[in-house]
Structure 1
Amino acid sequence: MATVHDVGTIDRTEPGWLRTAWAEVMANKRWPGPAHNGAERGFLLGDDIPETLEPYINARWDPEFEELGTRILAFSRLDAPAAESLLAALPKPALKLDLSGYAPPAAIVLRVVADHPGTVLAGGWLLSPELPGEAIQVRELTILDPTLVDMAPDVTPAELPAWIEELPADDYAAYLDARADCLEHGITRQAWILAVGRYGVTGARRFPYMRIVTDDETGTRGVWFGW
């Protein structure tokens, strides 16, 4: 029997596909008790939550995840209006610290996004109401602020050694790439310190992964932080 998870059953181009998928799941399977985060089961179907999230899931859909159907969905580029809507609609238990990861609590990340329209975007994962761990996991933050990266790195490489000229072409390129990574890491490490102070990104349980990015839509440089 076909389910909402079978390829082709849900047309992701149709408005409302996410609510349709999750509602059908809830109609056929219910886990006893609340979700693992303490929120009432099916909270992701509350208010306009599916409609708010839907455009950002499509923005990052990858055929690699097709077999997961609607069980686990990636989202990205979630902006200020969407963050504000989610803060108002999601129950408090769903916004608290997610102990399955190291990111700040969703409440903090979404508030940072909501307070900085056009500059801060969020991403992460949705675990559907079908799963006992139903959740919204906000695990990425992109801050499009060129001043975070327009600085001198705190890692200064030494002069290139003379023996580099004797390396094969591939090894020569790899060595230069490694040096560039060293410089970029020096910049992003400082960028995280600035982001915490300037944007209030507090509550992380671990130093994030980072990379310098250029926004495809605006051309603005910034930093992607991920946990």
Structure 2
Amino acid sequence: MAVIHRTTVVPSKDELLTAWLPTRPWYRPAAGGPRLERAGGFRLDDPAGEVGIEFMVVTDTAGDGPVSYLVPLTYRGAPLEGAEGALVGTMEHGVLGRRWAYDGCHDPVLVAGLLALIEGRAQAQDQNTSDLPDPGIGRSFTGEGPLPAALSTVTDDRDATQLHDAPRGVTLRLNRVLRPGALVQDAAGEVTGWWRQPDGTRARGPFAVLRTGTGA
């Protein structure tokens, strides 16, 4: 079970993301940006209890119009070997000490947790409260399991990050730029969630889409 600590984190997650987001190919440049607001998200438990797993939604309110981004993050007590290019930054946690924050698409613990969520073997947890399931996160799986424990290739495009397992014909797409009500067709599985818009209303759309076999 992930334990949510009420403590200080320096620099804050918002500060790390403000510096990191503009370096991503899917970030929409905005004059004077980023100007971020937290808009939603959820957590997953690491069965080993070592890695923090969080899916953050942040909205950039700079520029001509707000853009919401899905940012999967992992928090580790030591560097992840071979993942230097996925490091978002380091933080000093008031309880846990130094933490290394990574783009979770490159962290096998997060990927395994997300695949388990899609298959129904894991449950989404509230972002801010320990041991509280999040009923607002939906999942479905119509394919044939079990899914692979890892996906070896990670690529970014203008809207998403795609993870692939070529031998199994599996593709997992994480929508980095979120669009309310986006339609998903021919998917073997998906994760959907909600986020707050700047006007206070809720939007909902697909966070992750799984395709297998010829549909990948």
TM-score range, shorter chain: under 0.3
TM-score for both structures, normalised by structure 1? 0.26
The structure with the largest helix share of the pair is: 1
The structure with the largest strand share of the pair is: 2
TM-score for both structures, normalised by structure 2? 0.27
Q: Which structure: larger Rg?
A: 1
